[in-house]
Amino acid sequence: MPPVAGSYRLEGLAVPQSLDELHQLLAQVAVDHPDVNAEDLSMLETATIEIAGNVVEHGRPAGKVIYNFSLTVADDRLLGVLADSGEEMAEDPDRSAPLHTAESGRGLLLAQAVLDELTYARTEEQNYWTMVRVRRG
Amino acid sequence: MELTQTESGERTAVVGCSGRLNMVAAPQLRSYLTDTINGGRDRIVVDLSETTFIDSSGLGALIGGLKTARQHGGDLRIAAPNDQVRTVLRLTNLDRVLRPHDTVDDATRGW
């Protein structure tokens, strides 16, 4: 049977353990879709963990933010959408590279670098991060 | 993530880091490296051969260890990263300060 497009969803409290659940979801996608290039999936995973890590670390009220992640495997792209119930995130306006010696401040830059598209939007109640990785393989 | 000290010399420690090096694990690595360096081993090789994934927090822990080691007159090198780690290092330009070595032996050469 040829591989088919698929959708995945995960939701819960935005706490550090959520990152493990996201890793496991991405691992399941790899199993279900052996046709997806490993680097494409790995780069989407990299971006997802960066953005989710931001929500876990900076989402307010801390420990009470609910996240909802969806991932779609399409013929030409991988699409991840991470929504969260936290207060409006002050999108870091400075996406320039930090100094080599900096120990933080690379997350958004890295997520952007591994994706073809990264957008942030705010509705009345949720933050939305949309991540697109165009499939190379 | 699990940390192991697989090999040690008078000033050298090889720290194995298995699993995911993300924001959950990064503080543990940062603390381990600081303790090792403060304990007198300021030449550190972080063996990444069993590291399956790294994020910016993990990179921060490595940079923190590098800075601490150099402040003590030593250095920190990384060995055997997988493709994801190499790509992340390259995209953040950190491969200029944390040049990946293919093996632990390569990393310890000259020490």
Average pLDDT over all residues of chain B: 95
User: In A, which residues are within 8 Å of B91 by CB distance?
Assistant: 110, 113-114
Question: How far apart are alpha carbons B99 and B111 in whole angstroms?
Answer: 16
Element (H, E) at A26: helix A16-32
Between these two residues, B10 and B46, which has the higher pLDDT value?
A: B46
Question: How far apart are alpha carbons B108 and B43 in whole angstroms?
Answer: 9
For A107-135, write each residue's pLDDT tens digit: 999 999 999 999 999 998 999 999 999 99
Between these two residues, A2 and B76, which has the higher pLDDT value?
A: B76
Question: How far apart are alpha carbons B11 and A131 in whole angstroms?
Answer: 45
Closest CA to A40 of A88, A74, A14, A66: A74
Q: Which residue has the tokens 């165009």?
A: A134
- Asked if A110 and A129 count as a contact pair (C-beta separation under 8 A), the reply is no
Nearest-CB residue to B91 (from A23, A53, A110): A110
3-class DSSP assignment, residue A137: coil
Closest CA to A120 of A130, A105, A112, A109: A130
Within 10 angstroms of residue B69's Cβ, the number of other Cβ atoms is: 22
Type of residue numbered A117: E
Determine whether the interchain pair B22/A49 forms a contact, defined as Cβ–Cβ distance below 8 Å: yes
Nearest-CB residue to B92 (from A19, A101, A109): A109
In Å, how far are A9, A92, A115 from A52, measured between CA atoms?
Answer: 14, 15, 15
Backbone angles phi, psi at B101, to 5 degrees: -100, 145
User: In B, which residues are within 8 Å of A104 by CB distance?
Assistant: 56-57, 60
- Asked if A18 and A72 count as a contact pair (C-beta separation under 8 A), the reply is no
pLDDT band for A2, please (50, 70, 90 cuts).
very low
Determine whether the interchain pair A19/B22 forms a contact, defined as Cβ–Cβ distance below 8 Å: yes
Question: How far apart are alpha carbons A13 and A16 in whole angstroms?
Answer: 9
For A19-62, write each residue's pLDDT tens digit: 999 999 999 999 999 999 999 999 999 999 999 999 999 999 99
Nearest-CA distance A95 → chain B (Å): 12
Does position A4 have pLDDT exceeding 60, yes or no?
Answer: no
Q: Which residue has the tokens 């991840």?
A: A80
pLDDT at B88: 97
- pTM to 2 decimals? 0.92
Angle in degrees, CA A103, A108, A111, rounded to 5: 110
Q: What percent of chain B has pLDDT over 90?
A: 93
Q: Which residue has the tokens 């590291």?
A: B51
Q: Say yes or no: B24 contacts chain A, CB-CB below 8 A.
A: yes
pLDDT band for A95, please (50, 70, 90 cuts).
low
Nearest-CB residue to A97 (from B61, B67, B93): B93
Average pLDDT over residues B73-79: 98
3-class DSSP assignment, residue A83: strand
